[in-house]
Homo-oligomer: A and B are copies of this chain.
């Protein structure tokens, strides 16, 4: 409470020890509740510490204890997708959830913006990281490995030998769900548009799509676009796709930026949405909701998934490697039907 009249720098453990006429060892024990101190001594020390306004120096504690008590959120997703224009995307939604969850456990969340080349992860003092949807050769993952830092992936890692823990975002089932929805709405020749990278969301969706195409007898049409390209790349890929496969009646564009570009391409080709071509996407964010027409998307329960990822990471940091499950499973994804794919009124549950 009271401000120490002594000097200007904050009091150290030595100041407390002196004021309480004990050793620094005893102060440390008393304040950290290690059970080897006389209860009365402990109380006295606590009181003195409070009077002096003592707070342990976090830097010193961390050097000594060998931990940063901080984790980072990192991603190799290109800026155009992860941030860009309105910036309010997948990444920041995950960031908010992760910060809350981390702080609840006494960890700080360091927000590493999706940097282009980024030696970013080297200059930040952290114990580990959450990597959002790592690519097969992910820059963020590479940096973490080189630093020897543990990480948990949000979304199944696709790199060869990567057996790091992860939270499953259900890449395949999400695609299945969207394709089922399209079929239900009358689509007979849906095409798939995915990022050129090898993130689980693209890889698993492609596999699911090919399976569905075989099952239903669709001619499979899969287009890819560079993630860095954002809306424009989606536009171009979709325009090319429609030119080559004019009987396409639905586009499943898993990156929201692509989906918005696809909507433009569909319109520019003289087709109507959803009557001639439906468009659906995955992440239910600003882009999907403000698109004209609003895009059917998927509720991924990102909050829950992110909290699970943080839990997984912290368990690993605690060294519970044995007890820690190798993966958590986010809640069931759910389609949020909107005008971009609704030819019939949505079924009332």
Contacts and interface: CB of A to CB of B under 8 A. Distances in A.
A100 interface: yes
B110 A110 contact: yes
Interface in A41-85: 55, 57-60, 62-63, 66, 68-70, 83
A211 to B, nearest CB: 33
Copies in the complex: 2
A99 B83 CA distance: 12
A93 B103 contact: no
A111 B88 contact: no
Contact of A92 (B62, B96, B123): B96
A181 B118 CA distance: 44
Nearest to A125: B58
Interface string A127-157: 0000000000000000000011000000000
A246 interface: no
A125 B87 contact: no
A218 interface: no
Nearest to A124: B108
A289 interface: yes
A61 to B, nearest CB: 9
A222 interface: no
Interface residues of A, number: 45
Contact of A59 (B62, B99, B106, B122): B62
Nearest to A10: B148
Contact of A108 (B91, B96, B99, B123): B123
B123 A112 contact: no
Interface in A283-328: 285-286, 289-290, 303
B125 A99 contact: no
A198 to B, nearest CB: 26
Nearest to A115: B103
A108 B125 contact: yes
B87 A96 contact: yes
A88 B285 contact: yes
A319 to B, nearest CB: 15
B111 A59 contact: no
A69 B126 CA distance: 12
A99 B111 contact: yes
Nearest to A97: B87
Contacts of A10: 148
A270 to B, nearest CB: 27
Interface of A: 10, 55, 57-60, 62-63, 66, 68-70, 83, 86-88, 91-93, 95-97, 99-100, 103, 106, 108-113, 115, 120, 122-125, 147-148, 285-286, 289-290, 303
Given A58-B68, A59-B59, A99-B111, 18 more contacts: A10-B148, A55-B122, A59-B62, A70-B108, A87-B303, A88-B93, A92-B95, A92-B96, A95-B96, A96-B113, A99-B112, A100-B113, A100-B115, A286-B286, A286-B290, A289-B289, A289-B290, A290-B290
